[in-house]
Copies of this chain bind each other. A is one copy, B any other.
Amino acid sequence: MTKTLAFVLYPGITPLDVVGPLQVLSTLAQIDPSFAVVVVGQDLAPLGTDTPLKLTPSHTFDQVTEPFALIVPGGTEPTLAALTNELLLSWIRKAARSAEVIGSVCTGSLILGAAGLLDGRQATTHWGFRDLLAKFGATPVAERWVEAGPVLTAAGVSAGIDMALHLVERLAGEQTARTVQLLIEYDPQPPLGGIDWRSADLDFFKPLARAMLESAMADHPALLARLTT
């Protein structure tokens, strides 16, 4: 039986969160027809992102009920607003019941948390929002990706590519993972090298994250209080 790998869209996401792992897993599906990729949303209308690009799903929530894997991308303020999107959370909860892989990229893990899927598990997210994971009963971990039972969470934005290649290796073996990596020519050479976490100034982001939370949850004071105290 074909294993369906479902990427979840909602308004305002960071498109690289979804397109990084989508490109990796679509390449897997091209090589190995036992996998199929779908992009699910509430309906088939184009959705805005945090860039000028709009993204359109291939399937509605109603059309994809028991995926083998689901992967939830993140973003900035719109993702925080999605923590109270009951249609989205409801689909994720139902899909997660039978899924063998419950994945997220960046702040997508906060949505998994809001859906009640992180309680008692280790998880990660974008460095600027990592502390929030504890508010959902998770143990925040500063790793590129974290596996905890069926839950596979990645760090911020570009980390979804690394997480997805790890998933390919797990699902289809090392040789296939190497072929996918070669096909997308993932031989990263950041011009200034990797991030030097010891010298990076991370504090500048704290007031920005706080302002995003307050704006996203203006109509949900109880959740805002829970996440900020």
Contact = CB atoms under 8 A, between A and B. Distances in A.
Contact of A181 (B19, B182, B195): B195
Given A19-B53, A52-B37, A169-B191, A156 B178 contact: no
Contacts of A156: 183-185
A84 interface: no
A39 to B, nearest CB: 5
A186 B181 contact: no
A185 B16 contact: no
A186 B157 CA distance: 8
B144 A189 contact: yes
By size class, the interface of chain A is 35 or more
Contact of A190 (B56, B165, B183, B192): B165
Nearest to A164: B191
Interface string A144-186: 1000000000011111011001100100001001100111111
Contacts of A144: 187, 189
Contacts of A78: none
9 contacts: A18-B53, A26-B50, A46-B46, A46-B54, A53-B57, A54-B56, A157-B184, A182-B202, A186-B190
Given A7-B53, A26-B50, A162-B190, 17 more contacts: A14-B23, A16-B20, A16-B22, A18-B53, A26-B51, A53-B56, A54-B58, A156-B185, A157-B186, A158-B184, A158-B187, A159-B187, A174-B192, A177-B192, A182-B195, A182-B200, A187-B194
